[in-house]
Amino acid sequence: MGGLALAHRLDLPVLPDPCRARPARCPARPPRRWLPERPAGTVTAAPGPSPLTETEVAHRRATAALAAGRDDLKQLHELWATYNVRYYGGAMAPPYILLDEPSVPRRYGQFAARGGLGGRGQIMIRPSLLAGTHPHLRDADETTRRRFVADVLLHESIHQWQHEVAGRTDRGYHGHGPAFRDRANEIGAALGLPPVRTAKRRGPDADLPSCAQWPHCVRPVDHYAGSYVPASGDTDLIAQIIETTTHAAALWEQLGPHDLDDLDVNTACEISAVLARHAVATGGFTHVLKRQRNPGKTRPRSSGDPLNTTSRTSR
Say if residue 70 is in the same domain as residue 198.
yes
Please tell me whether residues 269 and 186 are part of one structural domain.
no
Domain count within the chain = 2
As a whole number, the mean pLDDT across the chain is 76
Inside any domain, residue 15: no
Same domain membership, residue 215 and residue 84: yes
Query: pLDDT at position 25, please?
Result: 64
Q: Which of the two residues, 135 and 21, has the higher pLDDT score?
A: 135
3-state SS class at 103: coil
Both 216 and 246 in one domain: the answer is no
The confidence score (pLDDT) of residue 217 equals: 92
Dist CA 148 CA 228 (whole Å): 8
Beta-ladder partners of 110: 124
Residue 234 pLDDT > 50: no
Same domain, yes or no: 106 and 161 = yes
Q: Is residue 8 part of a domain?
A: no
Q: Is residue 4 part of a domain?
A: no
Q: Is residue 18 in some structural domain?
A: no
Q: Is the pLDDT of residue 96 over 90?
A: yes
Once rounded to an integer, what is the mean pLDDT over residues 196-205? 93
Domain membership of residue 10 (yes or no) is no
Query: Is 239 within 8 Å of 230 (Cβ atoms)?
Result: yes
Average pLDDT over residues 239-265: 53
- What separation, in Å, do the N-terminal and C-terminal C-alpha atoms of the chain show? 74
- 115 vs 39, more confident: 115
Q: What is the mean pLDDT of residues 236-258?
A: 51
Residues 58 and 194 in one domain: yes
The pTM assigned to this predicted structure is 0.63
Summarised one tens digit per residue, pLDDT across range 259-301 is: 555 555 566 656 666 555 555 444 444 444 444 445 554 444 4
CB–CB of 254/315 below 8 Å? Answer: no
- 67 vs 241, residue with greater confidence: 67
Residues 72 and 160 in one domain: yes
168 & 142 share domain: yes
Q: Quick one: pLDDT at residue 228?
A: 86
Output DSSP code: residue 281.
Answer: H
Residue 168 in domain: yes
CA distance 201 to 306: 17
Whether residues 308 and 249 share a domain: the answer is: no
At residue 119, the pLDDT reads 86
Residue 42 within a domain: no
Same domain for 153 and 275, yes or no, is no
- Residue 161 predicted with pLDDT over 60: yes
> Does residue 247 lie within any of the structural domains?
yes
Which pLDDT does position 251 carry in this prediction? 58
Say if residue 205 is in the same domain as residue 242: no
Share of the chain above pLDDT 90, in %: 46
Question: Whole domain around residue 287: which residue ranges?
Answer: 238-297
State pLDDT tens for residues 16-64: 665 565 656 666 666 655 545 444 444 444 556 778 899 999 999 999 9
Whether residues 98 and 245 fall in one domain: no
What whole-number distance in Å separates Cα of residue 54 and Cα of residue 19? Answer: 74
